[in-house]
């Protein structure tokens, strides 16, 4: 009961703040809102005159900043989910400023000493005031005590941030459960799932070792990409609340003029950024999902450098294949193939007609391909694609939405660097290489060889499998299956040592056993 009271109190504060910025029920959407919600908004509303004339998404962003770090993170997630909220509001949330005043340097120093278990002077020869502060952490520039000393970036979690997020997420869960109980639309949009997705994402961000691990994994995946750089991690100066990486000295990619003045080619950097992002997503299924201009630099050697690995995206093999075949189908304007990919993946229910769906996809693709190169946006294509699939009852796919929103940011970076940037021709080599590597003749032979190997291993086990099945069936007929405890342990030990191919045989044997048992019982 006490927890419920706390949740309601917190949600009332949130509601008042939203209403004050005309973001609880924005006047632009008031006519379509339930009467009860409009009444609540009127009761709570004490509108801020400074918000007059601002778009609803911008007003919402301002309110979320005032509510606190968890609300900012929630807004960032909503910005990646135009399937959940109006796309116009999602675009307004993209401008959400994830910045707060820094906490005192003295607290940062004390936290480093507690986390690393050493005095600050024994770890760092120098330690600057904060150079950047965001909702979850802030960053300090430092120099290590190593020989030779190294210039590093030290990221430190805000004190008390874990407890703050725990409090707010409990309130968000309460609100989502209540909404799904009374609203069919909330159930369709999976409000509880949305909150849990955000909670899991933030839980990873609140353990900076996970961010360090993500940086290491990305560096490992991209080690052969000579034009892309991930900063080295200093594990000896990293903990759950402190992350230390090499300092990246470079020119921000947001400033094309400064890049040119430093001797870099902005157009070539645009190609590097787009191709490395697609390589991460399609080849590796693990991509940097926060590639805004502030996280991208060009070093002295002209390499693109990324920092801040708190938000990463993953695509499983099925999603990668779906994404590559969808983009490849649009590249060749084979809309029937794109439609078939959606149906094969089970994303579009079978009661819809594949030809009609292909016709809808053509309506998405043709207007885009009829535009000048500078106006042909892959992110816009995916945005319209997902809007179309909603009309065909396709459920939201969070992996793909995050990919699409990241691609939108990457496109923006590339077009800042090159106003005539051709995203399709830049992307084509990566997509075609993926298609050849995964769907070409060599891939078919490789898959066939693996399949034959699995069948061969299965065949080797069939005689013993049949003997075991016959014995077990006989015991079932004789009053039930009897296993001595030592036999149970022996089977468990043997099962643990089996390869994945033998486990396939065991499962097939279990199915055969079920059929035999059913026949005996009858």
The top-scoring range by mean pLDDT among 138-142, 161-165, 249-253, 366-370 is 138-142
Both tokens of 371, joined, read 């535009």
Share of the chain residues as helix, strand and coil, in percent rounded to the nearest 5: 65, 10, 25
First to last CA, the chain: 54
- DSSP notation for 261-278: HTT--HHHHHHHHHHHHH
CATH code, domain carrying 153: 3.30.200.20
Mean of all residue pLDDT scores within the chain: 79
Domain span at 165: 99-187+198-247
Asked which of 63, 98, 133 is the last residue of a domain, the reply is 98
**pLDDT beyond 60 at 482:** no
**pLDDT beyond 60 at 514:** no
User: In this predicted structure, what is the pLDDT of residue 443?
Assistant: 54
Instruction: Encode pLDDT of 168-181 as tens digits.
Output: 888 888 888 888 88
Mean pLDDT of 332-346: 89
Asked which of 69, 98, 127 is the last residue of a domain, the reply is 98
The four Cα atoms 114, 234, 243, 75 give a dihedral, to 10 degrees, of -170
In a shared domain, residues 430 and 457: no
The four Cα atoms 305, 319, 397, 329 give a dihedral, to 10 degrees, of 90
* Segment among 26-40, 309-323, 391-405, 414-428 with least mean pLDDT: 26-40
**pLDDT beyond 90 at 193:** no
Q: How far apart are CA 460 and CA 322, in angstroms?
A: 35
Instruction: Encode pLDDT of 355-376 as tens digits.
Output: 999 999 998 888 877 666 566 6
In a shared domain, residues 162 and 275: no
In a shared domain, residues 233 and 128: yes
Both tokens of 59, joined, read 């007003």
Q: How far apart are CA 522 and CA 517, in angstroms?
A: 9
Model confidence, pTM: 0.71
In a shared domain, residues 317 and 182: no
Where residue 21 falls among pLDDT bands split at 50, 70, 90? Answer: confident
Q: How far apart are CA 142 and CA 184, in angstroms?
A: 53
User: In this predicted structure, what is the pLDDT of residue 501?
Assistant: 44
Tell me if 444 is assigned to some domain: no
Where residue 516 falls among pLDDT bands split at 50, 70, 90? Answer: very low
Q: Which of 22, 83, 234, 290 is catalytic?
A: 290
Asked which of 64, 98, 132 is the last residue of a domain, the reply is 98
Q: Is 515 left (phi over 0), alpha (psi -120 to 50) or beta?
A: alpha
CA atoms within 13 A on the CB side of 100: 21
Residues 270, 418 contacting (CB under 8 angstroms): yes
In a shared domain, residues 396 and 478: no
- DSSP notation for 465-477: HHHHHHHHHHHHH
Helix (H) or strand (E) holding 138, with range, is strand 137-144
The top-scoring range by mean pLDDT among 79-93, 105-119, 192-206, 433-447 is 105-119
308 noted as active-site residue: no
For 484, list phi and psi in degrees, rounded to 5: -70, 145
Map 88-107 to HEC letters: HHHHHHCCCCCCCCCCCHHH
List beta partners, residue 244.
Answer: 154
Total domain count, the chain: 4
- Give residues with Cβ within 8 angstroms of 478, minimum separation 6: none
Tell me if 261 is assigned to some domain: yes
């Amino acid at each position: 009961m006490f927890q419920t009271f706390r949740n309601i109190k917190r949600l009332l504060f949130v509601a008042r703040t939203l209403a004050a910025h005309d973001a609880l029920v924005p006047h632009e959407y008031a006519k379509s809102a339930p009467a009860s919600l409009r009444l609540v908004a009127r009761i709570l509303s004490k509108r801020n005159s400074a918000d007059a004339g601002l778009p609803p998404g911008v007003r919402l962003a301002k309110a979320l900043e005032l509510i606190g770090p968890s609300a900012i993170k929630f807004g960032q997630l909503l910005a990646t989910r135009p399937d959940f909220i109006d796309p116009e509001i999602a675009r307004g949330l993209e401008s959400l400023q994830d910045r707060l005043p820094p906490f005192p340097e003295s607290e940062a120093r004390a936290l480093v000493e507690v986390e690393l278990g050493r005095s600050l002077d024994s770890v760092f020869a120098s330690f600057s005031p904060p150079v950047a502060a965001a909702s979850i952490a802030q960053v300090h520039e430092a120099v290590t005590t190593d020989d030779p000393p190294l210039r590093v970036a030290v990221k430190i979690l805000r004190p008390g941030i874990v407890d703050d997020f725990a409090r707010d997420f409990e309130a968000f869960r309460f609100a989502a459960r209540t909404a799904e109980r009374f609203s069919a639309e909330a159930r369709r949009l999976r409000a509880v799932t949305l909150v849990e997705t955000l909670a899991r994402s933030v839980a990873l961000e609140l353990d900076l070792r996970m961010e360090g691990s993500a940086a290491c994994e990305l560096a490992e995946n991209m080690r052969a990409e000579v034009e892309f750089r991930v900063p080295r991690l200093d594990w000896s100066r990293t903990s759950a609340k402190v992350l230390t990486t090499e300092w990246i000295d470079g020119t921000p990619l947001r400033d094309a003029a400064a890049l040119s003045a430093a001797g870099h080619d902005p157009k070539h950097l645009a190609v590097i950024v787009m191709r490395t992002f697609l390589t991460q997503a399609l080849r590796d299924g693990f991509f940097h999902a926060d590639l805004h201009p502030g996280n991208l630099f060009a070093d002295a050697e002209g390499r693109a450098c990324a920092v801040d690995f708190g938000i990463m995206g993953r695509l499983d093999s099925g999603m990668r294949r779906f994404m590559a075949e969808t983009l490849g189908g649009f590249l060749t304007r084979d809309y029937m193939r794109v439609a078939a990919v959606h149906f094969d993946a089970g994303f579009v229910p079978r009661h819809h007609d594949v030809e009609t769906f292909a016709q809808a996809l053509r309506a998405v693709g043709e207007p885009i391909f009829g535009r000048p190169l500078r106006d042909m946006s892959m992110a816009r294509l995916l945005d319209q694609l997902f809007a179309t699939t909603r009309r065909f009852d396709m459920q939201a796919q969070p992996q793909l939405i995050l990919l699409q929103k990241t691609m939108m940011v990457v496109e923006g970076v590339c077009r800042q660097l090159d106003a005539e940037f051709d995203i399709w021709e830049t992307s084509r080599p990566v997509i075609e290489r993926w298609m050849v590597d995964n769907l070409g003749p060599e891939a078919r032979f490789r898959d066939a060889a693996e399949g034959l190997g699995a069948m061969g291993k299965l065949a080797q086990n069939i005689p013993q499998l049949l003997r075991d099945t016959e014995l077990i069936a006989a015991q079932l007929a004789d009053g039930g299956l009897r296993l001595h405890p030592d036999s149970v342990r022996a089977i468990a030990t043997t099962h643990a040592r089996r390869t994945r191919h033998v486990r396939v045989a065991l499962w097939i044997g279990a199915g055969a056993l079920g059929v035999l048992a059913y026949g005996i019982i009858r």
